[in-house]
Amino acid sequence: MPNPVADAGRRRSRGYTLLELLLVVTILGIAATLLVPSLVGRDTYTVETVIRRLVADVTFAQSDALAGQGYRRIWFDPEGGGWSVVRLDENELGLPFDPQTADFVRDPLAAGEGQAMSVDLGDQRRYGDVELSNINIDGNRTWITFDPLGGTIADGGVPGTGGELVVRSQNLTYRVRFEPFTGKVAVARAE
């Protein structure tokens, strides 16, 4: 005579329970989290983080100039230490950057209220050894300026001629190019 209790126990032992499957998936996820950074390398992540932030800040500055119908400038530190996004009046277009008098755009994603939209690559814990170099925009300038229509302009309000800069770490180098007139950003790995 068949025993229903014994038959149920045999059927249950043939498959995996939901708990067992979740445990295996969790272990595989933890292993991948630990393994992937060591395969790719911290240097790659750090450089790509800086490039993503740079492209996002350029896009934001251009959009903010258009939305606010004003001038926005991204000033790149000539020593390669980072950048800042500032608001300008038309009469300030030909003036050099002065951090004491600059009207910094406030970072909408920053944790603190009123924090300036600025990146300091000197923060070794966050950005490692990444630096900017070969900054050459609009005829050897270290900044790019967006007008109220979102286009790039050079000193005197003439259309911008574009330019580029290099984002470099110990093992990786990327070129960031700014197109004339539009300010469109293109990033390419330099070999």
Quick one: three-class SS letters along 119-156? EECCCHHHHCCCEEEEEEECCCECEEEECCCCCEECHH
Average pLDDT over residues 45-58: 90
For the ranges 42-46, 48-52, 53-57, 92-96, which has the lowest average pLDDT? 42-46
**pLDDT tens-digit readout, 19-29:** 888 888 888 88
Cα R_g (the chain), whole angstroms:
25
Average pLDDT over residues 25-51: 76
Flag whether pLDDT at 135 surpasses 60. yes
What mean pLDDT, rounded, does the chain reach? 85
d(CA 148, CA 130): 32
**Strands of the chain, DSSP E:** 71-76, 82-88, 103-104, 118-120, 131-137, 143-146, 152-153, 163-168, 173-178, 185-189
**What domains lie within the chain, and their CATH numbers?**
4-39 (no CATH), 42-189 (3.55.40.10)
Average pLDDT over residues 62-81: 93
pLDDT band at 2 (very low <50, low <70, confident <90, very high): low
Beta-carbon contacts of residue 114 (< 8 Å; ≥ 6 apart) = 106
Question: How many C-beta neighbours within 10 Å does residue 71 have?
Answer: 20
Pull the structure tokens for residue 31: 């292993």
Helix 42-68 with 18-40: angle, nearest 10 deg: 90
